[in-house]
Amino acid sequence: MLIRRGPDIKASEITPKEIYLSRRHLLGGMAGAGLIAGLGGKADAAPLTAGKSAFSTDEAPTSLKDITSYNNFYEFGTDKSEPARNAHRLTTSPWTVKVDGMVAKPTTFALEDLLKPAKLEERIYRMRCVEGWSMVIPWVGFPLADLLARVEPLGSAKYVAFETALRPEEMTGVGGFFKVLDWPYREGLRLDEALHPLTLLAVGLYGETLPNQNGAPLRLVVPWKYGFKGIKSIVRITLTDKEPQTSWNMQAPQEYGFYSNVNPDVDHPRWSQATERRIGEGGLFAKRRPTLPFNGYADQVAGLYAGMDLRKFY
């Protein structure tokens, strides 16, 4: 029988939540007033006010530690521990997002302006990585549809393309001899997928602004698709009438399709997608659990793909 030692407790974890939140409020206020201009944009986590959502799962959320220390964000290194070490270099303030293409009102938003009218909600979603592991993440965000409504998509728009920031001077993983991906990171959705109420633009998790390694300051969350569709640190959103290029599809088209809906019946060519390991559940001896079609969101989204051969459109 194994006797498990309790986790090491850091001083920061003993500080009562109210106190460290108020401390951050103070810092936030100081930053706003230009009092700590020297910190130059590496915004510390700030609390967010968010309503509840009926879309949230009641499954136990994965720990903040696991969510923020086990990340695929190849701009900061291919090892899952690297983004937590390297992503602090990313300047997330000021931040602008250009929304253009087939819209009536193309706009370059300062992040504050983009967020001002947003009604933030907490959405506790399952996240299934294409590598065969999963988490439950309490995101804070707002529907992508709300942002798209503000720029008024034209009737001709059929798809939405997304682009991550590309900053070689801040991103430790985009240089080098072997390019892991063709930067900048790109993703895309069909317009009806983008407008689906489950599709979220996230700005926070666990009630605070996003840590950089999770895609600060603004990222996409599409819970019925594999995690890599959730593009991080978005700087551009373009409406178009052609299926956009997506990074992993460009890298290995036979392995990563444009749709990439979670599907236990369509294996990755090199590994099975039938099961997954839920991170943090049982530690070293965690059992695999069956993967659900559309990651358990089939009731809400299966209709989007009626009549489509999901083996062909993987």
Spatial separation of the C-alpha atoms in residues 313 and 305, rounded to whole Å? 9
Q: How far is the CB of 79 from another protein (least distance, A)?
A: 8
Spatial separation of the C-alpha atoms in residues 156 and 153, rounded to whole Å? 8
- Of 185 and 294, the one with the shorter C-beta distance to another protein is 185
> ω into residue 83 within 30 of 0, thus cis?
no
- Of 160 and 279, the one with the shorter C-beta distance to another protein is 279
Q: Among all chains, which residue has been given the structure tokens 């997506």?
A: 246
Q: How far is the CB of 40 from another protein (least distance, A)?
A: 31
Q: How far is the CB of 187 from another protein (least distance, A)?
A: 15
- Of 82 and 193, the one with the shorter C-beta distance to another protein is 82
- Of 68 and 199, the one with the shorter C-beta distance to another protein is 68
Integer distance in angstroms from the first to the last C-alpha of the chain?
43
Q: How far is the CB of 81 from another protein (least distance, A)?
A: 6
Q: How far is the CB of 6 from another protein (least distance, A)?
A: 9
Spatial separation of the C-alpha atoms in residues 102 and 153, rounded to whole Å? 6
Q: How far is the CB of 269 from another protein (least distance, A)?
A: 9
Q: Are 128 and 226 in contact (CB under 8 A)?
A: yes
The site for another protein (CB under 8 A) is made up of 2, 4-5, 7, 62, 65-66, 69-70, 74, 78-81, 130-131, 133, 176, 178, 180-181, 248, 251-252, 267, 270-272, 274-275, 277, 279-280, 283-288
Spatial separation of the C-alpha atoms in residues 51 and 165, rounded to whole Å? 29
- Of 35 and 252, the one with the shorter C-beta distance to another protein is 252
- Of 62 and 209, the one with the shorter C-beta distance to another protein is 62
**Could you say which DSSP state residue 81 is in?**
T
Beta-ladder partners of 271 = 268
Query: CB-hemisphere CA count at 13 Å for 300?
Result: 18
Spatial separation of the C-alpha atoms in residues 304 and 313, rounded to whole Å? 13
